[in-house]
Each structure stands twice: as C-alpha cells, then as structure tokens.
C-alpha cells in the first residue's frame, strides 16, 4: 500500500474544505447592504403609512390636526352598517369591485395564450415588432389612455365622425357617456393595456422548457398545435396557477387610476370600485376618517384572503406562495 505524499493530502484538504467562514460572512454582509434600500422603501411606503389608521378613531379635521380633533372611537365603523343608504352604496361598490375583478381573473388566460402563439412566430423581426407594440401600452399612463379613448370614442371623436359621415348613424353613439356595459368596457381597455406586459413572464417560462421535449415530440410526429397543447401549455400551468392564486388574493385591489379617469356622471354608479370609493369619500366627500375606516376593513379582508389562498396553494401544490 503506497502512502499518500503530505503535499497531496494538503491539496485534497484544500479542495474538499468549504470556503472560509470569514469570506462567506463578508459576502452575506454585502448582499444585505444591497437590499437595504429596498427594505427602506418597503418600510416607508408599506408599513409606515399604517400609523395613519389612527385617524379612523377620530373625527379628523385637517385644520385642527389630530390633536384638536374629537376622539369618536368606533363611530365610523358603526356608520358603515348603521345607515341603510350607506349599506346600499357599499353593496353596489362591492358588486362593482368583485364583478370587475372576476372578469379580470377570467381574462387572465389571455396573456398565456398570447405568449404561446407569439412564441410560435418564426420571423424574429415580426415577433419582436408584435411584442413591442403590445407591451408599449403598459408604459402609457391611464390619463393618456383616456385621452386616446376620448379622441376616438367621444361624441365628436374619430369613430363617431366616420360613422356619421358614412351615413351609418344619424346621431353620435355614446361610448363613454353611458352606464351600459361599463364593466366590459373597462375590461377591454385593461386587456389592451396589459396583454403584452402580462405575456412577458410566460415567455420567460417558455424559454426555460427543456428543448428535448420538443425534439421528442417532433420525432413522434407531433404537429405545431399538438406540441403547443401537450408540451408548452402544461409546462406553463404552474406559473399560471401561481398568478391566478395571487389574483384571487388581490380580488379587492382593483386600483383606482383607470376608473378615476373614466368615471363621469353617467357611469359613476357602476364604475366606482372600492379603491375609487375610498378616494371619493376621503377627498371629494371630505371625510378622511370614514375613508380610513373603509381602507382598514379592506386591508383586513385582503390579509384573510391572502392567507386563505396561501393555505389552498400549500395543500394543492405542496408549496406556499408567500
């Protein structure tokens, strides 16, 4: 039996030994320093504003400040369920919120389908052009989107002008100043604005699919649609399910920018979602305390929904989403 030279033993020990703890600790410190700015932003914009919940316990008047406002306890929460008019209004607002959210969840399959078909385009220049044109609207503010909508669909807009000049109609069609099909109209504008952006995540997932699966399918004689249906779509379903569960958890968070710019006296009853209602109560109605109370209840319900969806995901997928 030949003895191992001391130099070889030292070399093997150096190769098999883990990295020095000091070096790993230094790397961890720098990684923590790198995320500190993001932690500060989360603290400032997500957790620090929670201190404003105290306004829900006061009859807050900006001119007097919090110290000069009267403490009313749970009066605003009782007002939400104590007035029949208030209850009817909240029921309508919740119906708008849930209706538009459910329509958005139902249309969440569109970015997946768009990504699948976009991936099948063979000409790189055409694929890049389509992806750019469909992603660009996401970077346009809702104010500009409404300007586009007003220029095209107002009573004096492009579409009505063409219809009247061609003799198809005798009076302008009210596309915007109406309470008809408000939910579907908002859904259509939302899909137009976010379709290309929503497909990016699915395109990234497609690039991670094992190419050998497609090669095996071609060897077995599968066509392009068979390959899409039996390989691409199943491989994207885990990503879709995670995004779907997150959408369900955020069912009360519609945002307000889109609905704020499109609201008017004709469609306000059906376009006012929960976030827009809180804004209108606090700013237009000059009742910041009541708006804070509504926002608090919304946050509590959102946390409950998030925990429920996370429990469902853990049971179904074996892993949680938070």
Highest mean pLDDT among 74-88, 228-242, 299-313: 228-242
Q: pLDDT tens for residues 153-179? A: 988 889 999 999 888 888 888 888 888
Lowest-pLDDT range of 54-68, 104-118, 255-269: 54-68
Over residues 184-212, the mean pLDDT reads 91
* DSSP assignments along 168-216, one per residue: S-SS---SSS-STTHHHHHHHHHHHHHHHHHHHHHHHHHHTS-HHHHHH
Over residues 126-150, the mean pLDDT reads 93
What's the rounded Cα separation, in Å, for the pair 317 and 315? 6
Chain center to CA of 96 = 17
What is the rounded radius of gyration, in angstroms, for the C-alpha atoms of the chain? 28
**How does residue 322 score in pLDDT terms, banded at 50, 70 and 90?**
low
What's the rounded Cα separation, in Å, for the pair 192 and 185? 11
Chain center to CA of 171 = 38
Check whether 19 has a pLDDT greater than 60: no
The architecture CATH gives domain 82-317: Orthogonal Bundle (1.10)
Predicted pLDDT of residue 15? 47
In the chain, what are the domain boundaries?
A: 1-53, 82-317
Which residue carries 């959210």 as its tokens?
Answer: 101
179 or 6, greater pLDDT: 179
- Beta carbons of 133 and 196 less than 8 angstroms apart: yes
What sign for the dihedral angle of Cα 127, 237, 191, 308? negative
- Beta carbons of 101 and 258 less than 8 angstroms apart: no
pTM (2 decimals)? 0.80
């Amino acid at each position: 039996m030949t003895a191992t030279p001391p130099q070889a033993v030292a070399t093997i020990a150096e190769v098999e030994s883990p990295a020095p703890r000091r070096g790993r600790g230094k790397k961890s410190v720098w990684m923590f320093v790198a995320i500190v700015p993001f932690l500060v932003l989360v603290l400032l914009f997500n957790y620090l504003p929670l201190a404003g919940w105290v306004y829900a316990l006061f009859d807050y008047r900006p001119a007097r400040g919090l110290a000069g406002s009267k403490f009313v306890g749970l009066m605003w929460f009782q007002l939400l369920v104590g007035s029949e008019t208030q209850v009817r209004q909240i029921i309508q607002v919740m119906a708008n919120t849930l209706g538009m959210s459910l329509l958005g969840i139902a249309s969440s399959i569109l970015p997946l389908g768009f990504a699948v078909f976009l991936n099948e385009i063979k000409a790189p220049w055409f694929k890049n052009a389509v992806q750019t044109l469909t992603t660009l609207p996401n970077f346009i503010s809702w104010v500009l989107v409404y300007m586009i909508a007003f220029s095209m669909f107002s009573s004096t807009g492009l579409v009505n002008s063409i219809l009247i000049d061609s003799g198809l109609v005798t009076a302008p069609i009210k596309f915007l100043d109406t309470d008809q099909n408000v939910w579907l109209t908002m859904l259509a504008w939302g899909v137009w604005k976010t379709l290309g952006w929503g497909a990016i995540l699915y395109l990234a997932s497609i690039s991670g699919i094992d190419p050998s699966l497609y090669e095996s399918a071609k060897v077995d004689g599968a066509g392009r649609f068979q390959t899409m249906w039996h390989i691409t779509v199943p491989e994207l379903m885990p990503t879709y399910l995670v995004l779907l569960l997150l959408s369900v958890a955020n069912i009360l968070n519609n945002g307000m920018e889109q609905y704020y710019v499109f609201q008017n006296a004709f469609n306000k009853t059906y376009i006012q979602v929960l976030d827009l209602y809180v804004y209108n109560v606090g700013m237009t109605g000059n009742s910041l305390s009541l708006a804070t109370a509504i926002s608090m209840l919304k946050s509590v319900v959102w946390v409950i929904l998030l925990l429920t969806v996370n429990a469902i995901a853990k049971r179904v997928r074996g892993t949680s989403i938070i």
